[in-house]
Amino acid sequence: MHLGSIALVVAPSIALGATLVPASQSAPPPAPLARPEATFANDAAFLAEHADVVLLQAPGAGPIAVSPALSGRVMTSAFRPDAPGFGLVYREAIRGPRVARGFRNYGGEDRLWLAPEGGPCGLFFEPGARQELATWFVPPAMDGGPRSIVAQDATSITFRDRIALANAQGAAFALEIERRIDALSRAAIAELLGRELPAGVEVVGFRSTNALRELSARPLADHALIAPWVLGQFKPSPRTEVLFPFRGDASALKSDYFGAVPADRLTVQLQPDGGVARFKADAQLRAKIGLSARGATGWIGAFDPVRHVLTLVRHTVAPLEARVPDCDWVDPNPRLAAGDVATSYNHFQEPRFFELESIGAALPAGPGGSVVHVHTTLHLAGDALLLAQLAKERLRAEL
């Protein structure tokens, strides 16, 4: 199966999946379901049958699968077509029936949402609604429909669409969103890492470049806060650990999104010029951590010692003076425009996944304001010494 060329198959309709269901965190959840069929090739074939898929591949690196029908997500990637994919491809959701409201979690290693989620300027709640799971929904304009392809070749695809939505204050947005996905070559990955990649190292990587532009000729109101938010859902192992390097002191870390993270699931290792937060990402307990622009290095990652895979994410860091939406469901919110620029979420029920996320600067208030946010995902395996060196250099972490 050669993946250097593009294959695009569009099904007659786009299937959606199950909504989020609350679950008790006190009862021990079942172990993650085995998915032996989920090689990259099988995931790609499933997507071609039940949604659509565009396969991209750059020289010397593994393939990636993008679904225009599923809101332009990078669904998964792998070192080889016959190897397991890294991204969650939630088959039950993709082939399930539509729902009029809520969220269909298709999965995907890179999807574009818009922040803030909740709070006074939240985009996921109607004006006047009590902000809780029962009233939470993902705006269909943001996630749920197909994206329009404006350019495409063997290594990249670009989408451009116009959407309209409003926030919890009733502030309206008319946006043009352009999203480009690039499969990265082995040489490009080596250049990004500043290292030679020996022949035995397996790699796959891709970059999403996400541009928002306000189409209205009027300035945005003070309560019209909106920014690009990129989220990647990855398949965990029982020993997967998220690694968040930080500069300065540990006050740049936030760990109480869903209550305090238990001590056995989050440790902070201090160094003279910062440190690293080590967050257990086994999809067994709902928890989330975040990092502010003040402490962000522009790199986050995860290590799976079961598969011996290092995942690195390079993301744009908003300038310290920029407004970054905070996604907490609280009103009033003292962090309204001083939110985290990188976050990681550990899920706790089916489908099992953990997330690596980044949030960009908010759109400027002036007419026709625009912002660009870049989020790059890399997976590497095959040379334990190289992985250890990269983790030390990029994540300030010992493996």
Q: What is the pLDDT of residues 134-168, one digit of tens each?
A: 999 999 888 878 999 999 999 999 999 999 999 99
Q: How far apart are CA 395 and CA 278, in angstroms?
A: 10
Q: Determine the pLDDT at residue 37.
A: 58
Rounded Cα distance between 148 and 127, Å, is: 29
Average of per-residue pLDDT across 58-74:
97
The pLDDT of residue 356: 98
Task: Give CA 48 to chain center in angstroms.
Answer: 22
Q: Has residue 122 been placed in a domain?
A: yes
105 is a domain residue: no
Let me know if residue 338 belongs to a domain: yes
Domain that holds residue 160: 110-395
Report CA torsion sign: 377, 381, 383, 384. positive
- Given a cut of 90, whether residue 38 has pLDDT beyond it is no
313 is a domain residue = yes
CA-based nearest residue to 341, from 246, 274, 250: 246
Model confidence band, residue 8 (pLDDT cutoffs 50, 70, 90): very low
Q: How far apart are CA 112 and CA 16, in angstroms?
A: 17
In a 13 Å sphere around the CA of 28, the CA atoms on its Cβ side amount to 2
Is residue 302's pLDDT more than 90? yes
Residue 145 lies in a domain: yes
Integer angstrom CA distances of residue 13 from 76, 92, 384: 21, 15, 44
pLDDT at residue 101 in the model = 76
Beta bridge partners of 228: 114
If you write DSSP's letter for every residue of 197-256 in order, what string do you get? Answer: --TT-EEEEEEEEEEEEE--SSPPPTT---EEEEEEEE---TT-EEEEEEES-GGGEE--
Mean pLDDT of the 288-305 span:
98
Mind listing the pLDDT tens digit for each residue in 180-221?
999 999 999 999 999 999 999 999 999 999 999 999 988 888
Asked if the structure places residue 32 within a domain, the reply is no
Mean pLDDT of the chain: 90
The answer to the question of residue 183 being in a domain is: yes
CATH assignment of the domain containing 233: 2.70.98
Cβ 312 vs Cβ 394: under 8 Å:
yes
**In whole angstroms, what is the distance from residue 208 CA to residue 231 CA?**
11
Residue 96: predicted pLDDT: 87
Q: What is the pLDDT of residue 6?
A: 30
Confidence band, pLDDT 50/70/90 cuts, at residue 73 = very high
User: What is the maximum span of the chain, computed from C-alpha positions, in angstroms?
Assistant: 58
Least confident of 3-7, 60-64, 328-332, 335-339: 3-7
H or E element in which residue 389 lies: helix 384-395
Could you give the CA distance from residue 293 to residue 196 in angstroms, rounded to a whole number?
Answer: 30
Instruction: Evaluate whether residue 164 is within a structural domain.
Output: yes
Give the percent of the chain with pLDDT over 90: 83
Per-residue pLDDT at 217: 87
Among 264, 262, 267, which residue's Cα sits nearest to residue 277? 267
Q: In whole angstroms, how far apart are CA 378 and each of 63, 206, 266, 359?
A: 12, 7, 23, 18
Domain count, the chain: 1
Long-range contacts of 333-337 (CB under 8 A, 24+ apart): 333/119, 333/120, 336/116, 336/119, 336/120, 336/121, 336/225, 337/225, 337/362
Q: What is the mean pLDDT of residues 331-359?
A: 96
